[in-house]
Amino acid sequence: MRWTTSPALRWIALLLLCAAYLQGGLNKAMDFDAALAEMNHFGLSPAGPLAVAVIVLELGASALILAGRLRWLGALALGGFTLMATFVALRFWQMPLGQERFMAANAFFEHLGLAGGFLLVAWHDLKERAHV
């Protein structure tokens, strides 16, 4: 079965790719104090505007991807965000050897995979648009 012949499967795959960002954006929006605490935990300032920007980015870019409108832009936005957040939050190389470092390293490389997935989504979307 070709990817282009199954729109439902394609949409489900995109939903799964966006699931963490939808969940994260909704959680931050519903518990803004926790979103502020997260920004402060990672030393990001000013916490309020950055938390709002992350919420808008996570939900807005996911909506673009799922709606198919400027999908490439939403995918590049989430891919870039994921890459930056990974280097801020998962600096395993600065941790002492042990379980915490092991878990952070695994999460670091999983997030690199997510960023790569978003890059593929953007590439496929731009390629499809060029052939229309």
Q: Is the pLDDT of residue 1 over 50?
A: no
CA-CA-CA-CA dihedral for 60, 86, 13, 66, to nearest 10 = 10
**Tens of pLDDT along 62-71?**
999 999 999 9
Q: Is the pLDDT of residue 77 over 70?
A: yes
To 5 degrees, how large is the angle CA 71–CA 76–CA 78?
Answer: 95
CA distances (Å), origin 110, targets 73, 103, 114: 22, 11, 6
Report residue 2's pLDDT band, with 50, 70 and 90 as the boundaries. Answer: low
Tell me the two tokens of residue 86. Answer: 């990974």
Give residue 132's pLDDT: 66
| Stated pTM of the model | 0.91
Higher pLDDT, 108 or 4: 108
**Tens of pLDDT along 4-34?**
568 899 999 999 999 999 999 999 999 999 9
